[in-house]
Structure 1
């Protein structure tokens, strides 16, 4: 189920119960298309997320921590000016559409009452958040400005008259006096076709919600009772996350018993769980696009270099043949005359078989021999150099693949550490700093987990965190874990003698925070006491060597990771 009109109806009911008559005491905009209003209601603070994201547009109470930008946006400042301290007097849905309005009462600078509406329009790429002065029906500001060039039907700019989006000619299911559903059930008995007709006729139905209604109507003895009961469930929803045909979906209705599903105490908790990974991944892609592009380009360059070096190394296989030719010319020097362009000589390295050797007619026989010896020596020297370059390039590729893996696993707050590291390693340009100015880099804290028996487990999310965690934070007697032969996080068990259960849980964390995260098969994880982990001089951030390790086999589990979060 998407956040369609039916889900929006259920969410409005939930938010009214929790937030109505509350006051706004904090406003922030952690991302370009999302704002958070912290509303104080019933002696509790509720962070209300309004998202105009093209893919994840929604309104919910969220418990996910967000990091705000150092400088607030113009839209944030406008909201703070008008809504700080304002009282939330109504939360209402426009018919059964994906538009939710928050109505506020406040006072202006002169003390006169102002009626304001903050409208969230959830319309995919046209999603927007609009602050409206109700007395004048004028737009104060929007999170996305839309000019007449972009939309001729309605202009969404400060000072413009507010107009609702174009209305679809569909029936509001909560106001259906024609009982259209009765005709549809008779005309379209097939479940899938009936669902399509419900979407075509009724406002606010996504296809998966329509399938649920089609099932309810087919099972109902009385169609009117079945239809009304289905709609009334939005006032007492069953927040459900379920899996259908390999896809994770969410709904405000319980699903068929044969579908794997999990229930939550509220719709907001359901959305937090559903969008946590999806939204983080999108934000990382958005905020870390420059880092991702840099790493991809460097990887492409180094892989191309490795391919070229491998070819050059293969070419050096001819080195011995040049040495043999030089030795044969020297041995049979008396048989060769200046001006000859080739000669056939018995090869005593190969049963005296005749070997044809090309000669330069401009050189003496002795000079021709020296020419072959020089080629041999050049290729012999090249072998050592190329072998060293292949090793260095392979290390570079492994390092960059590790960074790429860390970006995939990163949360937005982790990106700053990765950016600092790439600057230190010379992949990104450093900003100008005065010679005497030294800026101390503050590394973010590792992820903290708690084992079932209460033992603390720490996980580094990037190379700087990994080095800090392993060599400065951890005790020498703690247990260190890392996925075997793959890029991944350093994991520390804050105990010298952890239980088998804790060791297993830490190994699952190491597997999950690695390149093997999505593996359905077993993943090998090494573990060893911290004092046996060493960092070679001059090695890249995050690179370590260790000895005396033991190995566990585990399967990465997102559910266990969520359970262990401290």
Structure 2
């Protein structure tokens, strides 16, 4: 189901149960439209993600570790000054709309008690996050300032009075008498039920309305069926569905025809659903330059490879030029200036007549020398072309590897890939200009940590998401007896099982992770090699991430996205 008013109803209930009465200890802003607010309650820290991202707006307790910028944005600094140390009183939904109010008890500049409202509006491209003073509804700050010429309905700038978005004049279905619904449905064709539900009751997305209509068709009493269906949102059973490699989610297991993956909380469900999509979107934003660079380098090297292959094909004719030169130097009297061709018995081929093209400006000996020069040029070019083909093929493999890594990268991996491309000379580093004769020392890049997973039996599995991580993980960090895995003959991540004698189940799980974090993630029956890490070798001068090995075993697996979520460290 989409994140409509019904789902937000369940979210508000879960967040209120987890957070109400807790104290706000930290606030971060990892991305422009999202903040992480850590609330400590009942001896536990709850990282609350409040997202006003146009595509992924939501509120949830998240277990995903987000990378914070070195310099906090202004909005994060403002929230820290006003909210850190304050107590979160409650989380409430506005009617059955996609709006949540986080009521926060704190003090003003004079030390007097005051209540601030952190309001999240989850409305697609109009999503926004406000800090509002309750007593006068003044907007103190908001994550997205909207000029008056872009929104004439209400003012969305600091200092303005906060007003709710325009009401749709529909009924909140929770706690209401649903008799009106039963009467409406009696007078309508079943095909129109979803439309009638949406036009009557607030917070129904199309998919939700269709699901309720489906239940109403099988229920004996329409009003009771609708009430029972709505009651699920007060006792959610978070469920993730996968259909044709696409995912959808629901607050409860509402699809009797499709098996779903249950989750303990709505936050865990949203982590599983949004992580891949949201991360890919963030990577595309942050790595746009890198993606273009990789595409251009691949195109350039693939074009070069075609030209070299053509030159290699031409070089195979070198022997024919030598034969023609030999024949011309043997029978020079048959050629005179002004001739365009000559037929000579080829003693290399049973004296068959061979037609030889001539330059009419030259005699037989001069034309023979022309063929010998072509022969020598092509012979020397062949060795050069073979070496160039080898180098070009390595470049293509390297950039295919980078492209594969960008496809599965998280934002923290992008910085590592950028550093690698700078070190390899493919990307120019931006140099800061000195000011007032002072030289600013560039901070050393800190390599991000590999992703960590826990096998079903508790064994730690680590995965390198870029070449710098792969080198460190496989060649420097890993115990020589730990088991190393990599998808066979395709770009992919290095995987380390932190055990010298893992169970077959752990090997299979690690192999599925290796296949998922590779170019074969959408394939089936993927071959994955594995062997002790001590057998890995890195040739001198090899690019980052490149290793050679022998004596490996191979297992065949099919990548499983749900397993990835199940084994991922929180």
Q: Same fold (TM over 0.5)?
A: yes
Shift of 1:201: 2.8
CA distance in 1, matches of 2:197, 2:49: 30
**CA shift in 2, pair 1:259/1:339, >3 Å:** closer
Shift of 1:235: 1.8
Shift of 1:279: 2.1
Shift of 1:333: 0.7
Q: Unaligned regions of 5+ residues in structure 1, if any?
A: none
Shift of 1:339: 3.8
CA distance in 1, matches of 2:164, 2:478: 58
Q: Answer whether contact 1:92 1:101 (CA < 8 A) is retained.
A: yes
**CA shift in 2, pair 1:228/1:491, >3 Å:** closer
Shift of 1:403: 1.0
CA distance in 2, matches of 1:257, 1:279: 28
Superposed counterparts of 1:507-518, under 5 Å = 507-518=511-522
Counterpart in the other structure of 2:341: 342
Counterpart in the other structure of 1:121: 121
Shift of 1:527: 2.0
Q: Deviations over 1:37-74 (max 9, x none)?
A: 11223333222111111121111111221111111111
Counterpart in the other structure of 1:465: 469
TM-score (norm 2): 0.92
SS in structure 1 at match of 2:148: coil
CA distance in 2, matches of 1:381, 1:36: 63
- Please, which moves more after superposition, 493-502 or 117-126? 493-502
Shift of 1:454: 4.0
Counterpart in the other structure of 1:356: 355
Counterpart in the other structure of 1:407: 406
CA distance in 1, matches of 2:243, 2:350: 73
SS in structure 1 at match of 2:81: helix
Superposed counterparts of 1:177-188, under 5 Å = 179-188=179-188
- Please, which moves more after superposition, 126-135 or 340-349? 340-349
Superposed counterparts of 1:290-439, under 5 Å = 290-432=289-431
- Please, which moves more after superposition, 167-176 or 270-279? 167-176
What number of residue pairs does the alignment pair up? 564
Q: Deviations over 1:66-112 (max 9, x none)?
A: 11111111111111122222332332222211111222232221223
CA distance in 2, matches of 1:43, 1:479: 38
CA distance in 2, matches of 1:496, 1:79: 48
Q: Answer whether contact 2:334 2:364 (CA < 8 A) is retained.
A: no
Match of 2:497 among 479, 493, 496: 493
CA distance in 1, matches of 2:551, 2:442: 40
Counterpart in the other structure of 1:81: 81
Match of 1:445 among 437, 446, 449: 449
- Please, which moves more after superposition, 109-118 or 541-550? 109-118
SS in structure 1 at match of 2:316: helix
- Please, which moves more after superposition, 361-370 or 293-302? 361-370
Shift of 1:246: 5.6
Shift of 1:504: 2.8
**CA shift in 2, pair 1:532/1:301, >3 Å:** same
CA distance in 1, matches of 2:193, 2:5: 18
Q: Answer whether contact 1:97 1:204 (CA < 8 A) is retained.
A: yes
SS in structure 2 at match of 1:430: coil
- Please, which moves more after superposition, 391-400 or 246-255? 246-255
Q: Answer whether contact 1:255 1:261 (CA < 8 A) is retained.
A: no
CA distance in 2, matches of 1:464, 1:445: 10
Shift of 1:3: 0.8
**CA shift in 2, pair 1:508/1:247, >3 Å:** closer
Q: Answer whether contact 1:185 1:217 (CA < 8 A) is retained.
A: no
TM-score (norm 1): 0.93
CA distance in 1, matches of 2:553, 2:174: 63
Q: Say if 2:559 is the partner of 1:556.
A: yes
**CA shift in 2, pair 1:179/1:496, >3 Å:** closer
Shift of 1:282: 2.1
Counterpart in the other structure of 2:479: 475
4+ residue segments displaced more than 6 Å: 433-439
Q: Answer whether contact 2:272 2:565 (CA < 8 A) is retained.
A: no
Q: Deviations over 1:341-375 (max 9, x none)?
A: 33222222333333332333333432221111111
SS in structure 2 at match of 1:545: coil
**CA shift in 2, pair 1:54/1:10, >3 Å:** same
Shift of 1:221: 3.3
**CA shift in 2, pair 1:252/1:564, >3 Å:** closer
Counterpart in the other structure of 2:170: 170
CA distance in 2, matches of 1:214, 1:123: 24
SS in structure 2 at match of 1:546: coil
Q: Say if 2:62 is the partner of 1:69.
A: no
Q: Answer whether contact 1:120 1:127 (CA < 8 A) is retained.
A: yes
Shift of 1:423: 1.0
CA distance in 1, matches of 2:324, 2:561: 64
Shift of 1:385: 1.6
**CA shift in 2, pair 1:110/1:195, >3 Å:** same
Shift of 1:453: 4.0
Superposed counterparts of 1:280-291, under 5 Å = 280-291=279-290
**CA shift in 2, pair 1:451/1:112, >3 Å:** closer
Q: Unaligned regions of 5+ residues in structure 2, if any?
A: none
SS in structure 2 at match of 1:160: coil
CA distance in 1, matches of 2:268, 2:458: 25
Over aligned residues, Cα RMSD in angstroms?
2.5
CA distance in 1, matches of 2:115, 2:304: 65
Shift of 1:376: 1.5
